[in-house]
Chains A and B, each alone.
Chain A
Amino acid sequence: MLIPAMPLAASLLTASLGARFLRGQSHLPVVLAIALSFVASLALVDQVQRSGQGRGADGVTFWRWADVAQEQEPSGSGGPGAADLHVEVALRADGLTAAMLAIVTCISTLVAVYSIGYMRGDPGYWRFFSYIGLFVFSMTMLVSAANFLLLYVFWEAVGLCSYLLIGFWYEKPAAAAAGKKAFLVNRIGDVGFALGIFLIWTTFGAIGFEDVFARVGPEVGDWRVTTICLLLLLGACGKSAQFPLHVWLPDAMEGPTPVSALIHAATMVTAGVYMVARCTPLFAASADAQCVVALVGGVTALLGGVVALTQNDLKRILAYSTISHLGYMFLALGAGTLLGVTAAMFHLMTHAFFKALLFLGAGSVMHAMGGVLDIRRVGGLRRRMPVTHGTFLVGCLAIAGLWPLSGFWSKDAILLAVQQRHELGAARALFGTLFATAMLGVLLIDFYMFRPYFRVFWGAERIPEEAGPHGRESPRVMTGPLVLLAIGAAVVGAYFAWTGSFTRLLMATPSLAGLPRVGAEAGHERIALLGTAVTLVGIALSAAIFLGRPEKAARLARVMNALGLYSLSYGKFFVDPIYKALVVWPTLATAQAAAWLDRWVIDGLVDLFGWMPALLGAALRPVQNGLIQFYAVAMVLGLLAMLGLLLM
């Protein structure tokens, strides 16, 4: 299990030595370690594939994290309510893990190489690479964890890396605020995840994946499993930026672009997809939860697509596109068939390639243009930056899902999965609607991807003044990874779709074995043709609109504006202001009120209590006035009173 260990070691090395000794060479240990991890992951993939299906997962246990014995005395008639808690720091490998490991380390290697060029000269160069190493460590641990607790540990650890990397340029207030926002929104999801784990524990009395999945059965109440699944989904929504909790991802673009590519597009955000895929046996036991997953996915896919249409910041467009594509993955997972899960994982892989490619391309543009990413201010770059342009085009075509690029295959698989689920029966209407939504989403992809593409690379040349004289192609070390990613984005889909080896690899996952399979590929061609037709129409339309005279686009915008759609999309459906008004301000106001209450009421009461003796003393002080006559009168009165009492 060297895969996670190497990046960790490299990260620690860089963190400890980077500031003083390595400086400009800080990338060496990290890049080397991640590359080696990639090789090791490939070896693991090979091993898992050969060991084939049916064999239990291999695993390593490092140490026991905690043991809490709970055995009850036999006298207690409570029954076996409380099981012992054993938590081990253990990893294990199966098909799902191996696939994720390979994807993560592959993209990480390329992005790390790219960052050598991108981050050069930054004062935090060593810091950047030590964070990247830490991230790769956490991410690889996340996908290899053998129990829910460890999954949660690294779930939060990647969140921490994300926090640190978003806020990498911490002196920019927006970056620091975005980092905090990402952490907090993720925390909300994490709380859901933690609640899910607690419920899993109280329900099944175990937290190891295999133990839990083995105990899922009809005897566990249906609503209980549904609740668990929904809580887990909440966690996944936080991490994977799905609808109610998607607000952090666009802001996360304040981080360095390689980070956006690696963490916020290709790998970390897919952790939610991985988690739901990993918990397939749980979700399979609850049809309701599956419907919710599919619904969340569908809504998010559409919402992300619509918002991406009108944004002007290239990275934000890509961010909303990521949200939308993650929505597709959830949609496929929600379909719940074997095809659905494999389609989601497949799309995860192809998406990792083309989205990393697009982000790095955007980073290349940004690098050349002196940090400007507003698509209204740059244009006509295709001659100045030929490599970036070419690879970006490949990325756009791949994301649009044009045959035979990778996006086509995975998108096709998702559509097919949804269609099959629609035909299977349960919740027909829902999945029918979702299928239509997905198709609409495909059309949107074309629009929102080709709009920035045409704006940035075609038309009259526009170079912002920030670019200075540098407005030219990026260095080799940046274009190299771009080219490799472009090749990947072009071929991985076709390769794995034809050979089917990816599906076979996933089939080596024990927990996926029990899923319903729908063998019939009926109607497949129809969907493929329909999808392609939609894609082509979309590209043609967007070319017509955005390549032509700008008045046309402006007129379209006016029409949409008149309908109120434009501002809705441009304002991102006003989710942020709504949250601010409904969650943030009330909480802060309550906090202020509580602080006021604390200072003046609760503490006031205490002080009042404290003053009591003094007040009492003040009240009684006149009595002790030192006048003998007064004392004598008091005595007589007292005696009389006592006498009166006695006589009564």
Chain B
Amino acid sequence: MAETLLTALFLPLIAGLMLPRRGARWVALLVALAVLALTAVLVGRYAEGTAGFAASRLDWLGPATGLDVRFDVALDGLSLWLFALTALLMVVAVLVGWETIQDRAALYYRLLMLLETGMLGVFVARDVILFYVFFEFTLIPLFFLIGIWGGPERRRAATKFFLFTFAGSVLTFLGLLAIVLWNYDQPGAGSAVRRLTFSIPELTVALRARPMGLGLQVAVFSALFAGFAIKVPLWPLHTWLPLAHVEAPTAGSVLLAGVLLKVGTYGFARFNVAMLPQATAALMPWLLWLALAGVVYGALVALAQSDIKRLVAYSSVSHLGFCMLGLFAVNRLSVQGSVLQMVNHGLSTGGLFAVVGMLYERFHTREIGDLGGLARRLPRLSFVTMLLVLSSIALPGLNGFAGEFLLLLGVFQRGWGQPMPHDWLQLRTIAVLSMSGVILGAWYMLWMYQRVFFAKNETSGDTRPVRDMSLREMLCLTPIVVMVFWIGLQPRFFLDRMAPTLNELIRPAMEAVEHRAERGGAASAALKNRRDVVVPHDAVSDGRETGKGWQSRSWCNSR
């Protein structure tokens, strides 16, 4: 299996470097399909293992040098579906620009191929340095894709996208190095030979055995947060996203929304939640508030948009908010739902961006006001769009529902479950408020659909016959539609393959959260029962004063 994974990973890279000038798109399509086929094999044979699935490892400097950086790739339950999503959306991305990209086409497809390797690599890397290399590597092809083939403001968009995400990821790198160095400084870490290990699984195990102090954890968490939160994007760091989406070529938007945003959530799951459990637990309410802000705010701003592409872009902010909500509620239901929702969002939003691209090719506008009554003129396209819209607003039976339901169920369990968390009021408020995103989501999506596809548009008077979806376009969206139904009808297939990894990944964080809840509960009870006794200041845990709680407790905690 290791060979399959390596082939899938490097085939696009090789192709990207050697793509012929003529017929580049065909070769690119073949490569994308080949990668998809290999991924299907990987998914089919996937088996849970301690060492990761399809692992292969090569020393770079070697342990003997004390600087143990490796080439180390493998799949596990967290990365499997994101890997598969990437392979799937790549086929969509290649097909979606088939005819529109004429200018420097070979370069375009080369960049796409390079991007594919970068994205696949992020999800399979099991070494901190390797992860970071792939993480940054995705930026470069996308920068050029936006900057060369984008819309009128492409330069500004590309620059902003690059600088914004790059600035964040520098801090992330500091955070990653801090983890590595902290582990190195631990007495008894590693074997007889003292070495700097960069291996993600080793670090996870080590940090689980000897957690950092809470203050340090929070600091490292914040550093990692900078890069990942921008990538996600978490409110209020999202402003690069609409601009980049609007200006990017369709394929760029599909991949940006479908895959690259997931790099951020993936990073949060892989590093923050897994390696810094106490910080995650301590910061949980704030992170949830931020995620909630994204959910509601993204939906509201989407409601006010007049450009379809911007609308879909802001819907991403809202949906990713849901993903983060599920992830930071750290329990099994919510995290599985969250990872499923990452895939779902990639499918539905990626699909919607593709549809918007198809509309733009036909009408050269994305203004909702300029469109109207398309259901009659483009029946097939409107049907597919309806399906994607419904998937995006989580209609039961389609994929969006499976993820959203599980993750919200998990968030509710966090608020109402046992032991009663001391900040239950906050958690419950968040849980209930998050449901408003579900209503607003239906509102902006259906309103957009109504205005664009129903209701004749008298003002434009544009009645030229337009081509409905071509075979190429249908093929382009078929994989998405199939997955939309598959995940919707049987999410178990997907959940079963991610569950063991995720459960293990979040176990320390879950325990930390429950530990806090018990402490908080005990403190409150003590407060209630013994009013005359002087209560230690750190035991005062009003639901809203979590912050003070951890600050006062932080430096002497855990260990």
Contacts and interface: CB of A to CB of B under 8 A. Distances in A.
Given A64-B492, A588-B303, A202 B412 contact: yes
Contacts of B336: 68
B416 to A, nearest CB: 4
Contacts of A183: 442, 446
A68 B413 contact: no
Interface string A68-85: 111000001111111001
B157 to A, nearest CB: 12
Given A70-B332, A176-B454, A65 B301 contact: no
B372 to A, nearest CB: 10
A41 B107 CA distance: 63
Contacts of A199: 412, 416
Contacts of B304: 588, 591-592, 594-595
B518 A82 contact: no
Contacts of B332: 68-70, 82
Nearest to B451: A176
A184 B439 CA distance: 7
Contacts, number: 159
A25 to B, nearest CB: 20
A312 interface: no
Nearest to A173: B455
A67 interface: yes
Interface in B375-422: 375-376, 390, 395-397, 401-402, 405-406, 408-409, 412-413, 415-419
A594 B303 CA distance: 10
A80 B417 CA distance: 10
A74 B432 CA distance: 31
A82 B373 contact: no
Nearest to A175: B454
Contact of A203 (B164, B240, B416): B416
Contacts of A160: 390, 395
B163 to A, nearest CB: 7
A498 interface: no
A590 interface: yes
Contacts of B305: 595
B207 interface: no
Nearest to A601: B236
A153 B300 CA distance: 26
Contacts of A179: 450
A195 interface: yes
Contact of B455 (A69, A170, A598, A603): A170
B39 interface: no
B515 to A, nearest CB: 9
A78 B521 CA distance: 12
B230 to A, nearest CB: 10
B454 A191 contact: no
Contacts of B435: 191, 194-195
B492 A65 contact: yes
Contacts of B297: 594, 598
Interface string A590-610: 111011001000110010001
A11 B418 CA distance: 46
B412 A201 contact: yes
Interface string B479-495: 00000000001111001
A464 B504 CA distance: 73
B454 A591 contact: no
A187 interface: yes
Interface in B198-250: 236, 239-240
A170 to B, nearest CB: 4
A43 B431 CA distance: 45
Nearest to A589: B304
A591 to B, nearest CB: 4
A39 interface: no
Given A81-B417, A606-B164, A606-B239, A590 B495 contact: no
B514 interface: yes
B487 to A, nearest CB: 11
Interface string A187-210: 110010011001101110000000
Interface string A606-635: 100010000000000000000000000000
Contacts of A195: 432, 435
Nearest to A64: B492
A176 B450 contact: yes
A187 B442 contact: yes
A171 interface: yes
A188 B443 CA distance: 11
Contacts of B456: 171, 173
A76 B408 CA distance: 24
B447 interface: yes
B499 A79 contact: no
A66 B402 contact: yes
Contacts of A176: 450, 454-455
A543 interface: no
Contacts of B446: 163, 180, 183-184
B412 A198 contact: yes
B171 interface: no
A157 interface: yes
Contacts of B490: 63, 65
A591 B301 CA distance: 5
A152 B397 CA distance: 10
Nearest to B239: A603
A281 interface: no
A47 interface: no
Contacts of A433: none
A201 B409 contact: yes
Contacts of B509: none
A167 interface: yes
A156 interface: yes
Contacts of A561: none
Contacts of A602: 236, 239
A491 interface: no
A79 B419 contact: yes
B86 to A, nearest CB: 24
Nearest to A67: B492
B438 interface: yes
Contact of B491 (A66, A81, A194): A66
B333 interface: yes
Contacts of A80: 418
A591 B331 contact: no
B160 interface: yes
B106 to A, nearest CB: 33
B511 interface: yes
Nearest to A149: B405
Contact of A81 (B240, B419, B496): B419
Interface in B265-323: 297, 300-305
A387 to B, nearest CB: 36
Contacts of A157: 395-397
A515 interface: no
A592 B375 CA distance: 28
Contacts of B511: 76
A77 B518 contact: yes
Contacts of B415: 202
Contacts of A51: none
A528 interface: no
A255 B397 CA distance: 25
Contacts of B239: 598, 602-603, 606
A595 to B, nearest CB: 4
B454 A171 contact: yes
Interface centre among A187, A195, A592 (most CB of B within 10 A): A187
A76 B490 CA distance: 32
Interface in B180-194: none
Pairs of residues from A and B, 4 with the lowest C-beta to C-beta distance, nearest first: A81-B418, A153-B396, A176-B454, A595-B304
Interface of A: 63-70, 76-82, 85, 149, 152-157, 160, 163, 167, 170-171, 173, 176-177, 179-180, 183-184, 187-188, 191, 194-195, 198-199, 201-203, 587-588, 590-592, 594-595, 598, 602-603, 606, 610
6 contacts: A66-B492, A76-B514, A153-B396, A156-B396, A588-B303, A595-B305
